Amino acid sequence: MKQWLKDAVFYEIYPQSFCDTNGDGIGDLPGITSKLDYIKGLGCNALWINPCFDSPFKDAGYDVRDYKKVAPRYGTNEDLAQLFRTAHEKGMHVLLDLVPGHTSEEHPWFKASSQVEKNEYSGRYIWTDHCFAGGDGMPFIGGETDRNGTYILNFFKCQPALNYGYGKIHESWQQPTDAPDCRATVEAIKDVMRFWLAMGCDGFRVDMAFSLVKNDTHHKKYTCAIWRDIAAMLQEEYPQAALISEWNAPRLALKNGFDMDFMLSGTHNGYDWLMRAYDGTMDSNPHNIGKAYFCKDSGTGIDKFLDDWLPSYKATHKDGLYCLITCNHDTIRPAAGLTTDELRIAYAMLFTMPGAPFLYYGDEIGMRYQKLPTKEGGYFRTGSRTPMQWAPGKNLGFSDAAPESLYLPVDPSADAPTVAQQQEDPNSLWHTVQSILAFRHAHRDLDSDAPFKVLFAPKAKGDYRPFAWRRGKLICAVNPAGAQAELPLKLKEGTRTLFVIGSAEVRGEDLILGDQSFAVLG
Ligand code: NOJ
Ligand code: CA
């Protein structure tokens, strides 16, 4: 385990929307650098920055046109180098977003690949051998290029799939993963990684890490082999560099080179039951929530989360970190479904569980989901990508630009939460986040890889649905419901409350947790 990950708490930044320093209405890298003290003061000591590379922005930068160039709208490569240096001076680490599965259709590799004449890049993407060949079950585009063939897509239409080869091969145009073209793709991605690592980057969040090899087995045998190969390169050349996968399959990711994997939101999975529990699809009315564990009146027990999370944790905790998030740029903000008091205890649990927690910018003040038209391929996700709300006043402190020229509008409501207001108010959500993170950093028992054990997780009985867990010598407990709960924890004499949200009292061997309360005992 890489030493710095033990105490790492990540802050995810959507660069478009964090801080605009040159008044053009869009966030930039100098803006991020200028806010490092703020982030550190909150208790986050590491960053994940969404793609900040040159791109036509049809998928907000997940359509990379030049892997080695910062998008001019965010600044220059030197600005990014400066961000790395300043972060390191402050003891912070920075992950970039690596998009290995596809590029933009405007990437020079793809342009070369589309040509009729054979060249170095002809096999960099997955092409069939005829303009009518279809895609063997995969989404494909035909009729757009002079080259006589169709090409496979990895996500949106603008994102042709890079060629890492096929597991099971049943068409003549499908290559095995050890074909020279496929190996060249792996080497090209390693080259991109080395480029940023040499400049000071501390690792990568890997987009769609599962997506490299097509027709791969259920166990993703060939994709996993590529990640082991890449991890071996890192181990040799940059042993402290970290990799986190967008995969939500810790049994695969953490055993095949990744240091961390995300537990992502999916319909009715454990994370969904904990924080969201939307009815229907992800873009259904976000205010229709109410079934999440942390909703005061949901009646949902912690078993809905544990049934999913615990077996994965047990199977992988020796290999790496299975990480919990407050939200990300692809999901509806938690404030859409949870009140401030619900958010407090939700975050308290997320930040005291194993794994390195990820806080999405603005969730520390309960920024709200906005109903907005789509921007740069965001669709329903656009509403979670609005500008950071720093202070009351023009554009809520995000930018000096005219409001109509902002990348996205700021929250227009009169009571839109801001950092400045919440820092003034000792009862704010910001202070809850800050104090729980300070407590975490002060206790090695709350390190990302420190031991964890379920202590008390009864099935829900009406409003009785508390949860208690052990971290090293500490005991953490939460009661999300609207009624007080007694937890028969067989506490040792002398056990005291060390951190409390709401109310908590040790009575003999029991813990009495007030309604909507959280406590750490030791
Ligand atoms: C996952 C990213 O998080 C998402 O924002 C993007 O649209 C897709 N991958 C495609 O790269
Ligand atoms: Ca700017």
Domain count, the chain: 3
Rounded to an integer, the average pLDDT of 476-500 is 98
pLDDT for 494-517, tens place per residue? 999 999 999 999 999 999 999 999
Among 442, 462, 480, where does a domain finish?
442
427 and 279, same domain (yes or no): yes
Claim to verify: residue 366 and residue 286 sit in the same structural domain? yes
Contact between residue 362 and residue 388 where contact means Cβ atoms under 8 Å apart: yes
Burial profile 89-113: b = 16 or more Cβ within 10 angstroms, e = fewer: eeebbbbbbbbbbbbbbbbebbeeb
138 shares a domain with 282: no
Tokens of 466: 């508390």
For residue 140, being part of any structural domain is answered with yes
Query: Do 267 and 390 have their domain in common?
Result: yes
Task: Output the CA 62–ligand 1 centroid distance in Å.
Answer: 6
The closest of 184, 55, 167 to 113, measured between CA atoms, is 184
- Average pLDDT score over residue span 407-426: 98
Query: Residue 177 falls within a domain, yes or no?
Result: no
Q: Is residue 128 included in any domain, yes or no?
A: yes
Distance (Å) from CA 384 to ligand 1 centroid: 14
Of how many residues is the chain composed? 522
Closest approach atom of ligand 1 to CA 381: 5
Residues 223-247: tens digit of each pLDDT: 999 999 999 999 999 999 999 999 9
Residue with CA closest to ligand 1 atom 1: 207
**457, two tokens:** 């997780």
Q: How confident is the model at residue 13 (pLDDT cuts 50, 70, 90)?
A: very high
289 and 398 both lie in a single domain: yes
> Taking CA 459 as the corner, what is the angle to CA 260 and CA 273, rounded to the nearest 5 degrees?
45
CA of 387, nearest ligand number:
2
The Cα 375–Cα 354 span in angstroms is: 35
pLDDT of residue 288: 52
Q: Hey, what are 479's tokens?
A: 């009661």
Please tell me the number of the ligand nearest to residue 155's CA: 1
CATH of the domain at 498: 2.60.40.1180
Q: Same structural domain for residues 425 and 483?
A: no
Residues 86, 137 within the same domain: no
- Supply the CATH number for residue 149's domain: 3.90.400.10
Nearest protein Cα to ligand 1, atom 4: 330
Instruction: State the Cα–Cα distance between residues 89 and 82, nearest whole angstrom.
Output: 11
- Residue 202: inside a domain: no
> Is 219 among the domain residues?
no
Our answer on whether the CB atom of 48 is closer than 6 Å to any ligand 1 atom is no
Whole-number Å distance, alpha carbon 182 to ligand 2 midpoint, is 38
State the amino acid at position 263 in one-letter form.
M
Based on the domain organization, do 434 and 468 belong to the same domain?
no
Closest ligand 1 atom to the C-alpha of 328? 3
pLDDT tens-digit map of 92-120: 999 999 999 999 999 999 999 999 999 99
Question: Would you say the CB of residue 63 lies under 6 angstroms from ligand 1?
Answer: no
What is the mean predicted confidence (pLDDT) over 483-502?
98
Reply yes or no on whether the pLDDT at 429 is more than 70.
Answer: yes
d(Cα 18, Cα 406) in Å, to the nearest integer? 12
Whole-number average pLDDT of the chain: 96
Type of residue found at 268? H
The predicted structure's pLDDT at residue 267:
79
The neighbour count for residue 509, using CB atoms within 10 Å, is 13
Check whether residue 267 and residue 341 sit in a common domain. Answer: yes
CB distance 155 to ligand 1 below 6 Å:
yes
Residue 224 has φ and ψ, to the nearest 5°, of -60, -40
The Å distance, Cα 355 to ligand 1 centre, comes to: 22
Q: Residue 208: CB within 6 Å of ligand 1?
A: yes
Verify that 429 and 386 share a domain, yes or no. yes
Give the mean model confidence (pLDDT) for residues 150-179.
Answer: 98
C-beta contacts of 193-197 below 8 A and 24+ residues apart: 193/98, 193/230, 193/233, 193/234, 194/237, 195/67, 195/68, 196/96, 197/234, 197/237, 197/238, 197/241
All residues at 6 or more sequence positions from 367 whose CB lies less than 8 Å from its CB, including other chains = 333, 335, 386, 388, 389, 411, 417
Sheet holding 485-487, edge to edge: 485-487, 510-513, 504-507
Are 407 and 401 in contact by the 8 Å Cβ rule? The answer is: no
Shortest-distance Cα residue to atom 5 of ligand 1: 330
The mean pLDDT of 125-145, rounded to a whole number, is 97
Asked whether 67 lines ligand 1 (CB < 6 A), one says: no
**In this structure, which residue's CA is closest to atom 8 in ligand 1?**
62
Question: 287-324 in b/e burial notation, b at 16+ Cβ within 10 A?
Answer: eebbbbbbbbebbbbbbbbbebbeebbeebbebbbbbb
Which of 16, 62, 95, 379 most suits a substitution to test ligand 1, by most atoms within 8 Å of the C-beta? Answer: 62
Residue 130 CB coordination number (10 Å): 12
Strand ordering across the sheet containing 467-471: 452-456, 467-471, 474-479, 517-521, 497-501
The one-letter code for the residue type at 105 is E
Per DSSP bridges, beta strands 93-98 and 46-49 are parallel
Task: Yes or no: say if 410 and 389 are a contact pair by the CB < 8 Å rule.
Answer: yes
Q: How confident is the model at residue 289 (pLDDT cuts 50, 70, 90)?
A: low
**pLDDT for 283 beyond 60:** no
* Segment 450-465, tens digit of pLDDT: 999 999 999 999 999 9
Mutate to test the pocket of ligand 1, among 155, 156, 205, 248 (most ligand atoms within 8 A of CB): 155
Mean pLDDT of 411-421: 98
Q: At what angle do helices 429-442 and 340-350 cross, to 10 degrees?
A: 10
Nearest ligand to the C-alpha atom of residue 50: 1
Q: Is residue 198 part of a domain?
A: no
d(CA 253, CA 244): 9
The arithmetic mean of pLDDT across residues 487-498, rounded, is 98
- Indicate which residue's Cα is closest to atom 6 of ligand 1: 62
Nearest ligand 1 atom to the CA of 101 is 11
Cβ atoms of 277 and 292 within 8 Å: the answer is yes
Q: How confident is the model at residue 218 (pLDDT cuts 50, 70, 90)?
A: confident
For ligand 1, whether the C-beta of 12 sits within 6 Å is no
Residue 268 pLDDT: 84
pLDDT interval class at 278 (50, 70, 90) = low
Domain end residue (candidates: 163, 178, 211): 163
Domain containing residue 126: 102-163
Q: Are residues 139 and 16 located together in one domain of the fold?
A: no
CA atoms of 332 and 282, how far apart (whole Å): 8
The pLDDT tens digits for 45-69 are 999 999 999 999 999 999 999 999 9
* 59 Cβ inside 6 Å of ligand 1: yes
Query: Could you give the CA distance from residue 202 to residue 184 in angstroms, rounded to a whole number?
Result: 24
Q: Are residues 63 and 95 in the same domain?
A: yes
Alpha carbons within 13 A on the beta-carbon side of 174? 17
Tokens 């912070």, residue? Answer: 92
Ligand nearest to the CA of 16: 2
User: Of 147, 163, 179, at which residue does a domain stop?
Assistant: 163
Instruction: For CA atoms 52, 54, 59, 62, give the dihedral sign.
Output: negative
Q: How far apart are CA 273 and CA 432, in angstroms?
A: 23
Return residues with CB closer than 5 A to ligand 2 (ion): 20, 22, 24, 26, 28
CA of 359 to the centre of ligand 1 (A): 18
CA 52–ligand 2 middle distance (angstroms): 12
Residue 272 lies in a domain: yes
**Amino acid 285: pLDDT:** 54
For residue range 165-194, list pLDDT tens digits in order: 999 999 999 999 999 999 999 999 999 999
- Choice between 290 and 304, residue whose per-residue pLDDT is larger: 304
174 lies in a domain? no
Whether ligand 1 lies within 6 angstroms of the CB of 136 is answered as: no
For residue 354, pLDDT over 70 is answered with yes
Would you give the DSSP letter of residue 487? E
**Residue 290: which pLDDT band, with cuts at 50, 70 and 90?**
confident
Q: Which ligand is nearest to the CA of 161?
A: 1
Q: What is the per-residue pLDDT for 159?
A: 98
Cβ atoms of 207 and 200 closer than 8 Å: no
* Beta carbon of 62 within 6 Å of any ligand 1 atom: yes
Residue 243 backbone phi and psi in degrees, to 5: -125, 130
